[in-house]
Amino acid sequence: MSDTTPPTGQHPDAAPTPPGTPTPPTPPNAPTPPDASAPEIEQQPTWTPPLPPTDQTPPAGQVPPGGQTPPPGQTTSEQTPPPGHLTSGESTEPGTQHDQGPTHGLQPGHGGEQPSQPTAVPYPGSPRYGTHPGQTPAPPPVAEPEWQRLSWLSIPVGVLDNLASLLVIVVSVFVIGQTGNVWMLIVAPLALVAQAAASVVAYLHTRFRISGDRLEKTEGFVSRKQTNSRVDRIRTVNITRTFVQRLFGLASLDVETGSDGEQFKIVGVTHTTALALKTNLDTHPARGTATAATPGAHAPNAGAGPATEPGAPQPEPSDAHPSGHPATPNLAGGAGPAPGHTDTRTHASPASAETPDETAGILARIQPNWPWRAGIAGQGLLPAVALLGVLFGQLSAWLGGTLETWLFNNFGELWELLPHGDVGSLETVRHVATQPFAWVMFFVSIVVFLAVSYVANVITYIVTNHNFELRRINSTTLQRSAGLFSITTASIDLDRMRGVQVTDTPIRRIAGLASSRALLTTGRVTLPSLNTNRLLPWSPLATNWQVADALLHTEAERRTPLQRHGPRAARRLLIASARGSLVLTVIAVAFAWGKPAGWWVLTGVCVVFLTVLRTLHAIALHRSRGNALTAGHLLLRSGYLHQTTTVVQRRVALGVRLRQGPFQRWLGLADLHVMDTAQGHKAHDVTLGRALSLAGELTPELVDQFRVRPAINSAHHLPAPGEDSVNDV
Amino acid sequence: MGLRPPSHRVPIRAIWAWVIGPAAWMLVRTVIVLFVVASAPYWDVPAETMDWLHPPLGLLWVLVPLLIGLLEMVVRPWVKYRVYRWEVTETAVYTRVGFITSVTTLAPITRLQDVEVAQGPLDRLLGLAFMRCTTASDTIVVGRIDATLAQQLSDRLLATIGADTSDAT
């Protein structure tokens, strides 16, 4: 791919940073080539961008030597990025990126990245909102790091990506509609042109960078939008690559931050840039600080960090990769201490060597039998129905309508019965039910459906999870990568991890499957789950728990038997179920009123069937519920059709909320909601006594002050208003 | 074992806020419906298709909302007054709201992120303010309380929050 996009040439504005640009700290050399300004930002000489991902060999040559020379000044640079950021896949590639790894972190700013040239800084005033008090005091902008931009290849890729989906639509319209639809011929090209225009605008007007402890992006032409996220609020950093993007060596970066409820998305940068950004974010001091733990890798940083920090807020994205850079002086100079470390992780393979971390390593990897087992359930039914419909239509057309004729000959009687007035008569029902052929067709079509959907499920699973691997790249970062055509690489910040949630469904339980996700905390709000925190796809239950235990160290605690919710909770579920059945019955009677007896039989059967189902579900639901509190964790299980088992650290408990509806008050039950920084954790229908004791143990200093002296109140009773002394204020 | 209820009720004049607010809405609704019903005969529409809008049937459209509004005005405020409770201690915010479904919330002050005190025109008239606190993921409604008190409380809470440098996670 031309990925090696022409560095400078492309961007008009790309001219080397004008001297005037803000690189305050730059040492005397500043005027000299950009790189000279070591400490800061600018250094990025424009060097050629990385190569296409496919062959990422780092052309050493590419790097302009000068560019990265590590000026002495750099020493200040803080941190060498810890090694391990690459995805396993990448590991194959020569160390290119890695090498750089270290560099990036350190240099404050430069965006060595390809695309980012020292483009003129179009938007000088980066959107920097007030720094938070708590945060590292970013010294006045030392030098704002350079803005980086998308790869020009994002234009063709945007169009091609769109073309692919457009083709699917066009083809399906033609196939299903069977007659060519002229409109499609007009609309499709128009859509392509619109997409091309959008891609061009995105290319011309999107800028992004890591500035200090903020990740910034400006985009849009007509309506300009600035996004600004705190790096320390980042929960996950994902790299996604569609098939077309892979062909062109591009990637998209998805950053999930808790702060503004938005996903920070950069679509269409070179893979190397994406990797570098990810590396910088994964190893950013603002995120790393929390984890004092990692000895080896971080240590160097730590040392260096503080010093540098003041001066240079941060690691720029830029450095990324590097392809060639590795050798560059930067490393040497900047990270003095670290060089060794940095690289190490990246080279995934022999992991051990460098990392002091005993923690690095593969936690789980897809096994050949996973897809076959996972095919048992999934969304395959829809494609199956669609496929069957299309096949039927085509088959029928090719056979000149003989299929329909054949069906009509065999089913004609049924069809003829339907339009007649006596649809609901007992005779009709009996007649249909006694046609052996009807039953044969019924079962055959079910079997075909199941078979097709099974195959569709397996294919979907493989497409999504091919080469799935969950790897711990250092003590604070977990990396998940998978995909057949488009590959997703996600990293999860272990410092933000508070627990694991394992999910399964009844059908998958038969196959012994479950999937799990990490429970992450953020400083502020939590987004609805975006799947980025997923740990494992549908995989054997045992694997799920192994991973959970490895991450949470809960082997022993997990064996704690869960406390069931008791007979009163069961009664409440049955009452609710009966109430629903009653409503259903009323509706059914209203529906069948005045209709022939056949309808009464049909609706009666339906009502009985649903009532039995609901009752069974209530029982199963009750049996699945449980809770336990261990030394370090809260264990909760709930749900039947979508059963989740949550193991979460006790310390997440921030507050508690008790909810009681009328029936619950009557039965002495309550829903306990343990509030945390995310959606919290709920235990439904626990006895009030249990709810209070859980609440009391989770947050003793909070609850104890409001306890009633034992003599006054019974355990299962929240005092009614007015029962105790009250002050009007 | 059990929890005692939060120690404070809302001030009794909050009832006025709960009465007057719905009353105003009821008035607005009634006027709109009245206007529609009264003007119906003049619409350029075949009368028989609009039977349901003409008096006497049309009066139902006026009376039913009126009745609902009255109920809302008379019953709801008293129920709310009996049920709503709140308490703020040195370390915690403790509230109880809800009649049919009662919700009891306990949250530590150190984990609060924001305190909001809002005053509508009616609140200002009555010297009330609506206070609620926000944690990382939840909103804890304290309710309508005395405006001065709300201000003091909020100042105190904000000072406590500000003093705590952790990021409230």
Q: What is the pLDDT of residue A643?
A: 92
Q: What is the pLDDT of residue A496?
A: 80
Q: Which residues of B touch A658 (CB under 8 A)?
A: 103-105
- Contact predicate A285/A309, CB 8 Å: yes
- A651 to chain B, any CB pair closer than 8 A? The answer is no
- Looking at residue A304, its amino acid is A
- A728 to chain B, any CB pair closer than 8 A? The answer is yes
Listed in sequence order, the DSSP H helices in A434-540 are 436-465, 506-510
- State residue A659 phi and psi, 5-degree precision: -125, 130
Range of weakest confidence among A406-420, A484-498, B66-80 = A406-420
Is there a contact between A705 and B136 if contact means CB atoms under 8 Å apart? no
Q: What percent of chain A has pLDDT over 90?
A: 18
Which of B89, B96, B165 shows the shortest C-beta gap to A705?
Answer: B89
pLDDT in tens, A338-392: 333 333 333 333 333 344 445 568 889 999 999 999 888 877 667 667 767 777 6
How far is the C-alpha of A47 from the C-alpha of A323, rounded, in Å? Answer: 10
Mean pLDDT estimate for chain B: 83
Q: Which residues of A touch B107 (CB under 8 A)?
A: 654-655, 675, 702
Q: Which residue of B has its CA nearest to A671?
A: B103
A607: confidence class by pLDDT, cuts 50, 70, 90: very high
A717 three-class SS: coil
Is there a contact between B85 and A714 if contact means CB atoms under 8 Å apart? no
A61: confidence class by pLDDT, cuts 50, 70, 90: very low
How far is the C-alpha of B35 from the C-alpha of A273, rounded, in Å? Answer: 65
Report whether pLDDT(A191) > 90.
no
Is there a contact between B8 and A729 if contact means CB atoms under 8 Å apart? yes
Range of weakest confidence among A235-239, A466-470, A551-555, A709-713 = A709-713
Instruction: Determine the average pLDDT of the residues in A611-626.
Output: 94
Q: How far is CA A494 from the centre of its chain?
A: 14
Q: Which residues of B touch A287 (CB under 8 A)?
A: none
- Could you identify the residue written with the tokens 């809770």? A627
Q: What is the pLDDT of residue A63?
A: 38
pLDDT in tens, A71-80: 443 333 334 3
Q: What is the pLDDT of residue A396?
A: 65
Q: Which residue of A has its CA nearest to B135?
A: A677
Q: Which residue of B has its CA nearest to A496?
A: B169
Q: What is the pLDDT of residue A224?
A: 75
Which of A688, A720, A729 shows the shortest C-beta gap to B149?
Answer: A729
Q: What is the pLDDT of residue A214?
A: 80
pLDDT in tens, B56-104: 777 787 888 788 888 888 888 888 898 899 999 888 999 999 888 999 9
How far is the C-alpha of A694 from the C-alpha of A650, rounded, in Å? Answer: 10
- Cβ burial of A450 (10 Å; 0-12, 13-18, 19+) is middle
Q: What is the pLDDT of residue A409?
A: 65
Give the sign of the dihedral formed by CA A640, CA A643, CA A648, CA A652: negative
Our CA-based measurement puts residue A654 at a distance from the nearest CA of chain B, in whole angstroms, of 7
Ranges assigned E (strand) in A125-220: 148-149, 207-211, 214-219
- Contact predicate A503/A642, CB 8 Å: yes
Rounded to the nearest 5 degrees, what angle is found at the Cα of B32, between the Cα atoms of B30 and B38?
95
Q: Which residue has the higher pLDDT, A90 or B49?
A: B49
Q: Which residues of A touch B89 (CB under 8 A)?
A: 705
A432: confidence class by pLDDT, cuts 50, 70, 90: low
- Contact predicate B94/B86, CB 8 Å: yes
Rounded to the nearest 5 degrees, what angle is found at the Cα of A604, between the Cα atoms of A601 and A606?
110
Substitution target from B12, B13, B138 for chain A, most A beta carbons within 10 A: B138
CB atoms within 10 A of CB A512: 13
Q: What is the pLDDT of residue A178?
A: 52
pLDDT in tens, A105-136: 333 334 333 333 333 333 333 333 333 444 44
Q: Across A86-100, A525-539, A684-698, which has the greatest mean pLDDT?
A: A684-698
How far is the C-alpha of A520 from the C-alpha of A314, rounded, in Å? Answer: 25
Contacts 24+ apart (CB under 8 A), A639-644: A640/A506, A641/A505, A641/A506, A641/A617, A642/A503, A642/A505, A643/A503, A643/A504, A643/A505, A643/A509, A644/A501, A644/A502, A644/A503
CB atoms within 10 A of CB A529: 15
Q: Which residues of B touch A681 (CB under 8 A)?
A: none
Which of B11, B94, B167 shows the shortest C-beta gap to A706?
Answer: B94
Report whether pLDDT(A406) > 70.
no
List, edge to edge, every strand of the sheet that includes A225-230. A148-149, A207-211, A214-219, A225-230
- Cβ burial of B31 (10 Å; 0-12, 13-18, 19+) is exposed
Substitution target from B83, B102, B148 for chain A, most A beta carbons within 10 A: B102
pLDDT in tens, A638-688: 999 999 999 999 888 888 999 999 999 999 999 999 988 777 889 999 999
Query: In Å, what is the CA distance from A390 to each residue of A23, A180, A457?
Result: 63, 15, 18
Q: Which residues of A touch B135 (CB under 8 A)?
A: 654-655, 675, 677
Q: Which residue of A has its CA nearest to B5?
A: A719
A263: confidence class by pLDDT, cuts 50, 70, 90: low
CB atoms within 10 A of CB A531: 11
How far is the C-alpha of A328 from the C-alpha of A63, rounded, in Å? Answer: 8
Q: What is the pLDDT of residue A493?
A: 80
Residue environment code for B119-150, b if the CB has 16+ CB neighbours within 10 A, otherwise e: beebbeebebbbbbbbbbbbebbbbbbbbebb
- A257 to chain B, any CB pair closer than 8 A? The answer is no
Range of weakest confidence among A97-111, A705-719, B8-22, B29-43 = A97-111
Range of weakest confidence among A424-433, A505-514, A670-679 = A424-433
Report whether pLDDT(A298) > 60.
no
Q: What is the largest CA-CA distance in chain A?
A: 99
Q: What is the pLDDT of residue A143?
A: 63
- Contact predicate A686/A692, CB 8 Å: no
B6: confidence class by pLDDT, cuts 50, 70, 90: very high
- Contact predicate A242/A486, CB 8 Å: yes
Which of B83, B136, B149 shows the shortest C-beta gap to A677?
Answer: B136
Of the candidates B28, B23, B17, the one whose C-alpha atom is nearest the C-alpha of residue B121 is B17
| Helix%, strand%, coil% for chain B, nearest 5 | 55, 25, 25
Query: In Å, what is the CA distance from A632 to each residue of A503, A628, A711?
Result: 21, 11, 32
pTM: 0.61
- Contact predicate A253/A238, CB 8 Å: yes
- Contact predicate B163/B141, CB 8 Å: no
Substitution target from A679, A685, A705 for chain B, most B beta carbons within 10 A: A705
Mean pLDDT estimate for chain A: 67
Report whether pLDDT(A583) > 90.
yes
Which of A676, A703, A719 shows the shortest C-beta gap to B5?
Answer: A719
Is there a contact between B5 and A726 if contact means CB atoms under 8 Å apart? yes
Query: In Å, what is the CA distance from B64 to each residue of A98, A262, B52?
Result: 73, 45, 14
